[in-house]
A and B are shown apart, each in its own frame.
Chain A
Amino acid sequence: ETGVTQTPRHLVMGMTNKKSLKCEQHLGHNAMYWYKQSAKKPLELMFVYSLEERVENNSVPSRFSPECPNSSHLFLHLHTLQPEDSALYLCASSQGFSYEQYFGPGTRLTVT
């Protein structure tokens, strides 16, 4: 598959569960991003990785833990989430200084 892929597309988890979201980009980019899109809020930047190093943590609670093992893969590890964490989580990538970010389809997360 081309572009930016995300798995799973839908996830339902309890507050005590641990799960991970996966993002993969097939574009040769060197920067990757996690965004949160809630129903009543603008798209919010969570994390930025550049060349596999985290360069931005936008005051995200520690129950969200990102991991970038290489420039093509990005994970978001989730544990002890709250119902208000239910949202669409979008991954994006870009090349260098370009602000043109390529988005994945998102993972719809529901915390029960």
Chain B
Amino acid sequence: AQRVTQPEKLLSVFKGAPVELKCNYSYSGSPELFWYVQYSRQRLQLLLRHISRESIKGFTADLNKGETSFHLKKPFAQEEDSAMYYCALSGRAGGTSYGKLTFGQGTILTVHP
């Protein structure tokens, strides 16, 4: 079974402060991890995936297999980062390779001015 845990439902920081959104997972195979984001009145959209190892909007996330974590970090938070963030883990759907995403419960990030 695969599971994604985001321990913080709410996270508040001030503008310019570092931010870390926690994500832990359990999966018996080799995982693929993602962060999705939903800004106010917008759709859920992909923020970044661990395979690409890139920084998007200043956010990075490193897969730590030893700690089974995929925390999302940004050194200096901005007000426009306020949103709901979901960590997701991929699996297999039936006999095909199409994405089956298991989502965490989400963390609402609020960045205060």
Contacts and interface: CB of A to CB of B under 8 A. Distances in A.
A43 B96 CA distance: 21
Contact of B34 (A43, A44, A99): A99
Given A41-B105, A45-B100, A45-B102, A50 B43 contact: no
A42 B4 contact: yes
Interface string B35-79: 000000001111001000000000000000000000000000000
Interface residues of A, number: 24
B45 A48 contact: no
Interface in A33-65: 41-45, 48, 50, 55-56
15 contacts: A31-B98, A41-B105, A42-B105, A43-B106, A48-B93, A48-B98, A50-B98, A56-B93, A94-B99, A97-B98, A99-B90, A99-B99, A100-B46, A101-B99, A103-B43
A90 B101 CA distance: 13
Which of B86, B100, B102, B106 has its CB near the most chain A CB atoms (within 10 A)?
A: B100
B29 interface: no
Contacts of A104: 43
B46 A101 contact: yes
Contact of A42 (B34, B46, B96, B103): B103
B34 to A, nearest CB: 6
Given A42-B4, A100-B49, A105-B43, 5 more contacts: A41-B105, A42-B106, A99-B32, A100-B46, A101-B99
A51 to B, nearest CB: 9
